[in-house]
């Protein structure tokens, strides 16, 4: 059946009106966002470094938006379980991921099935903090610096184990790079977050850990754990006097991480920008910066485009590290 010119014109006008209606609805959803509870999926157990940050953000966003912000801890798989849930979530800004290097940049390239593709399934919202790891040891281990650790590990092969907050987290990757660059063979024991990894170290179940600063800083300050190095390129303000690994006879060693908010890919850009704007305000609050500094976080703030670009670049960098470290998972 042929349509008349007038019919085709009417259909075209209808399509245009429908398109405009969709655009208006999207704009309205952004202007009224959030109109219901927002969920932040935290990929590690309560009490760890990631959870601390998630709950600070949740509290402040709730105060600003006058809405309930739920922090939902979905630990396991090094963050993959949480990331996969967000990748499958509605693209409306009501389910967000507190992501990091492991589940976003590393695990999708060492595991056969993670249920998502980071570059395809996530939209960056804001990188909020940079965090470096600190090398901490159980007080019963007779080492006070990196050279003593290397000597002890070589003299006692197979006797040292390092706990981390999960497979392919920076704690794990730092260990693998350290093993390669120093020729030692320290074993890896993954836990479901920074808090249980710290508990295992305190109990002597493990002897060493390349931990995020927030998850162990309280134990360092109270003398329950001994800090012997940091993984960045300079000492940390929160840990004065603790030298970087690269300044203790392992030149070129540097491993760091970031934590930030991501949304499912396809979330309207105006909603992403609205979240980004509020996160930028929160991370700049003096009381928030002070609290995060106490925990060992270095606060930052990026645009969504900057976050997406950084993730793309770091994925390529980590692929090289993964290959050299020989990290694979079934």
Look at domain 36-130+257-325 and name its CATH class: alpha beta
Give residue 129's pLDDT band: very low, low, confident or very high (50, 70, 90): very high
Give residue 5's pLDDT band: very low, low, confident or very high (50, 70, 90): very low
Sign for the CA dihedral angle at 225, 236, 281, 27 comes to: negative
Q: Please say if the pLDDT value at position 76 is more than 70.
A: yes
Share of the chain above pLDDT 70, in %: 91
Using one digit for the tens of pLDDT, what is the confidence trace for 257-279? 899 999 999 999 999 999 999 99
Give residue 303's pLDDT band: very low, low, confident or very high (50, 70, 90): very high
330 neighbors 314 (Cβ within 8 angstroms) = no
Spell out the domain ranges in the chain: 36-130+257-325, 132-247
User: What is residue 77's predicted lDDT score, i.e. its pLDDT?
Assistant: 79
Considering the entire predicted model, what is its pTM?
0.75
258 neighbors 301 (Cβ within 8 angstroms) = no
E strands along the chain, which residues?
Answer: 38-42, 69-73, 95-100, 122-138, 161-164, 187-190, 208-212, 225-230, 256-264, 298-299
Do the domains spanning 36-130+257-325 and 132-247 agree at the CATH topology level? Answer: yes
Q: Please say if the pLDDT value at position 226 is more than 80.
A: yes
Q: What is the mean pLDDT of residues 132-157?
A: 97
Q: What is the mean pLDDT of residues 183-206?
A: 94
Sign for the CA dihedral angle at 21, 23, 28, 33 comes to: positive
Q: Please say if the pLDDT value at position 243 is more than 60.
A: yes
Distance from C-alpha of 161 to C-alpha of 189, rounded to nearest angstrom: 7
Which of 67-71, 102-106, 243-247 is predicted with the least confidence, judged by mean pLDDT? 102-106
Look at domain 132-247 and name its CATH class: alpha beta
Give residue 60's pLDDT band: very low, low, confident or very high (50, 70, 90): very high
Cβ neighbours around 226 below 10 Å, total:
17
């Amino acid at each position: 059946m042929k349509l008349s010119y007038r019919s085709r014109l009417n259909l075209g006008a209808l399509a245009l009106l429908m398109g405009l209606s969709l655009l208006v609805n999207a704009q309205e959803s952004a202007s009224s966002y959030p109109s219901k509870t927002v969920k932040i999926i935290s990929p590690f157990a309560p009490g760890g470094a990631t959870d601390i940050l998630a709950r600070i953000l949740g509290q402040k966003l709730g105060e600003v938006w006058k809405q309930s912000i739920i922090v939902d801890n979905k630990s396991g798989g090094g963050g993959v379980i949480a990331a996969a849930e967000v990748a499958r979530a509605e693209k409306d800004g009501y389910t967000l991921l507190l992501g990091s290097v492991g589940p976003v940049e590393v695990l999708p390239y060492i595991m056969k099935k993670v249920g998502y593709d980071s570059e395809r399934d996530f939209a960056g919202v804001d990188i909020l903090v940079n965090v470096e790891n600190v090398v901490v040891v159980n007080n019963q281990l007779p080492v006070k610096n990196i050279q003593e650790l290397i000597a002890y590990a070589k003299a006692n092969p197979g006797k040292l184990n390092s706990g981390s907050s999960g497979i392919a987290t920076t704690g794990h990757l730092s260990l693998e790079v350290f093993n390669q660059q120093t020729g030692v063979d320290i074993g890896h024991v993954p836990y479901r977050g920074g808090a249980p990894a710290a508990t295992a170290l305190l109990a002597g179940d493990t002897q060493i850990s390349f931990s995020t600063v927030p998850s162990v800083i309280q134990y360092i300050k109270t003398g329950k754990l001994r800090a012997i190095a940091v993984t960045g390129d300079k000492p940390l303000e929160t840990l004065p006097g603790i030298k970087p690994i690269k300044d203790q006879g392992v030149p070129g060693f540097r491993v760091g991480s970031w934590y930030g908010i991501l949304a499912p890919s396809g979330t309207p850009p105006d909603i992403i920008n609205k979240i980004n704007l509020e996160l930028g305000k929160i991370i700049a609050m003096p009381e928030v910066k002070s609290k995060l500094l106490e925990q060992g976080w270095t606060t930052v703030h990026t645009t969504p485009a900057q976050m997406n670009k950084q993730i793309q670049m770091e994925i390529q960098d980590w692929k090289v590290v993964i290959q050299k470290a020989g990290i694979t998972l079934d």
